[in-house]
Amino acid sequence: MESLVITGGNPIQGKISVEGAKNSVLPILAASLLSKDKEGIWLDQIPRLQDVDVMIHILKDLGVQVKMQGRNLFLDTRSLEKDVVEDYHNNRMRSSIFLMGPLLGRMGKVTIGYPGGCRIGERPIDLHLKGLSKMGIKINMKGHRIEATGFPKGALIHLDAPSVGATENLMMAGVLAKGETVISNAAKEPEIVDLQNFIIKMGGRITGAGTDTIKIKGVDALSGGTYQVIPDRIVAGTYLLAAAATKGELLLENIIPRHLEALCAKLGEAGAELEKGDDYIWLRGKELKSLEIRTLPYPGFPTDLQPPMTSLLTQAQGASMVKENVFEGRFDYLEELNKMGANVTKIENRKAIIKGKTPLTGAKVNATDLRAGAALVIAGLVAKGHTTISNIFHLDRGYERIEEKFRNLNACIERRKDDNENAFQQSS
């Protein structure tokens, strides 16, 4: 097991370019199974992350030929031969559930375990399964295994809630389906638009991603081709928050600023100076004012930036309030922040009050999940003295070589091997 050791106090300074979005790459990798074209698929801007490695591993296990060259990934999906996703993988990554839609479209059958994932709430998959049933799929639960059979047929599906994963899974199930599929109350996240753009590039017929109604007209086959995934807005947001919390100055390049509007609005309200261009955001940190944050589906404030934002709010003057509306279990890290001297109180299951500004001091803390880990990195960058963050495999799932990136931005941070063999490895 490894930990990060941070000596806080340096302002984050410099410029950084952001890698491809994890939450785009994962469904796009799954969607590649829908093609069996001899041209194959080339994906560009692939981030080197543990979750992406796990998904590539699953695809290989299913029979896909995969070749990685730098940030490019080549997939030859003609050799797909299995419709069973082994248990080992499901436990490691929630996104394995995305494989249901494409495997049903291509093979008419899939067996998969109930997915694991970050411990940030209950995370049921009822909306995925209800939608697939509407498309004529027979679902059979065998213990913790799901056996689904049938080729998807076009259907009208109203999602009870705008789930990102269910929207993506059902979009993929509709691509090769007979007839038209309409998903209403769909999620509108940029990663859903990216998935639509990928499928269109491969010859699929989808419209409406980014709005709450998505229409998919089934086609007989997809082609191959090349595609570049969008930059990771959550990684970008984490760097912006680190710069604002340490009163630094950061130029963030290769990003889509409109994907970060909710965050930038809040950073501006808190007092940070910001300038946006077509593909960059520049930020200079100033004295921070308290904020009220309510997480919501896109275009609202992203739940994935709630923990890092809370770390920033420990440095804001006055009382801030954070309300988590998306996942019910995303406050586990508050205890860790308090160990560092923060004054954060959970007043209801989904609401926390942060009293600032409090000086933070280095401590031994534990990354309870991916974005909790990001929150602790920011707290460590602010804190006086040394912070040791354990269980950083969570961070490696979503941030590429985070210590190197922050070191290039003036931070004092290093990765160390430790012997905490009891750390429990599970991923989202």
Q: Write out the catalytic residue numbers.
A: 118
Q: Using CB under 6 A, which of the segments 42-50, 117-125, 358-366, 378-386 binds ligand EPU?
A: 117-125
Structure-token pair, residue 316: 């804001």
Question: Which x/- pattern, by CB under 6 A, does the window 241-280 give for ligand EPU?
Answer: ----------------------------------------
* Residue-wise DSSP of 333-371: THHHHHHTT-EEEEEETTEEEEEE----B--EEE--SHH
Regarding 370 and contact with ligand EPU (CB under 6 A), the answer is yes
- Of the residues 75, 127, 305, 382, which one makes contact with ligand EPU according to CB under 6 A: 127
Tokens 């040394």, residue located: 386
Report the DSSP pairing between strands 364-366 and 213-217.
Answer: unpaired
Q: Using CB under 6 A, which of the segments 34-42, 126-134, 199-207, 417-425 binds ligand EPU?
A: 126-134
Rounded to 10 deg, the angle between the 22-31 and 100-107 helix axes is 10
Integer Cα distance of 60 and 62 in angstroms: 5
Amino acid residing at 381 = L
Q: What residue is closest to ligand EPU based on CB?
A: 165
Structure-token pair, residue 416: 């160390």
Regarding 126 and contact with ligand EPU (CB under 6 A), the answer is yes
Structure-token pair, residue 240: 């912006």
> Shortest gap between Cβ of 120 and ligand EPU (angstroms)?
6
Regarding 371 and contact with ligand EPU (CB under 6 A), the answer is yes
Q: Using CB under 6 A, which of the segments 40-48, 125-133, 313-321, 383-391 binds ligand EPU?
A: 125-133
Regarding 165 and contact with ligand EPU (CB under 6 A), the answer is yes
Per-position b or e across 118-129, b if 16+ CB within 10 A of its CB: bbbeebebebbb
Q: Using CB under 6 A, which of the segments 83-91, 123-131, 134-142, 276-284 binds ligand EPU?
A: 123-131
Long-range contacts of 165-168 (CB under 8 A, 24+ apart): 165/94, 165/95, 165/97, 165/98, 165/125, 165/128, 166/125, 166/127, 166/128, 166/131, 167/192, 167/214, 168/27, 168/98, 168/101, 168/192, 168/195
Regarding 21 and contact with ligand EPU (CB under 6 A), the answer is no
When the beta carbons of 270 and 305 are compared against ligand EPU, the nearer one is 305
When the beta carbons of 119 and 145 are compared against ligand EPU, the nearer one is 119
CA atoms within 13 A on the CB side of 385: 10
Integer Cα distance of 373 and 364 in angstroms: 12
When the beta carbons of 262 and 363 are compared against ligand EPU, the nearer one is 262
Within 184-203, the residues that bind ligand EPU by CB under 6 A are 187, 189
Regarding 47 and contact with ligand EPU (CB under 6 A), the answer is no
- Of the residues 69, 81, 122, 422, which one makes contact with ligand EPU according to CB under 6 A: 122
Within 278-337, the residues that bind ligand EPU by CB under 6 A are 303-304, 326-327
In degrees, to the nearest 5, what angle opens at C-alpha 106 toward C-alphas 100 and 108?
Answer: 70
Integer Cα distance of 276 and 283 in angstroms: 9
Report yes or no: 246 and 34 within 8 Å, Cβ to Cβ.
no
- Of the residues 89, 92, 106, 123, which one makes contact with ligand EPU according to CB under 6 A: 123
Q: Using CB under 6 A, which of the segments 157-165, 247-255, 354-362, 401-409 binds ligand EPU?
A: 157-165
Regarding 125 and contact with ligand EPU (CB under 6 A), the answer is yes
> Shortest gap between Cβ of 51 and ligand EPU (angstroms)?
7
Integer Cα distance of 305 and 272 in angstroms: 17
> Shortest gap between Cβ of 236 and ligand EPU (angstroms)?
13
Q: Using CB under 6 A, which of the segments 53-61, 120-128, 146-154, 210-218 binds ligand EPU?
A: 120-128
Report yes or no: 259 and 235 within 8 Å, Cβ to Cβ.
no
Distances (CA, A) of 366 to 64, 118, 338: 37, 14, 12
Regarding 164 and contact with ligand EPU (CB under 6 A), the answer is yes
- Of the residues 95, 181, 197, 368, which one makes contact with ligand EPU according to CB under 6 A: 95
- Of the residues 121, 210, 271, 385, which one makes contact with ligand EPU according to CB under 6 A: 121
When the beta carbons of 28 and 288 are compared against ligand EPU, the nearer one is 28
Distances (CA, A) of 292 to 306, 316, 324: 11, 11, 11
When the beta carbons of 390 and 428 are compared against ligand EPU, the nearer one is 428
Structure-token pair, residue 220: 């007989």
| Binding residues for ligand EPU (CB under 6 A) | 23, 26, 95, 118, 121-128, 161, 163-166, 187, 189, 303-304, 326-327, 370-371, 398, 428
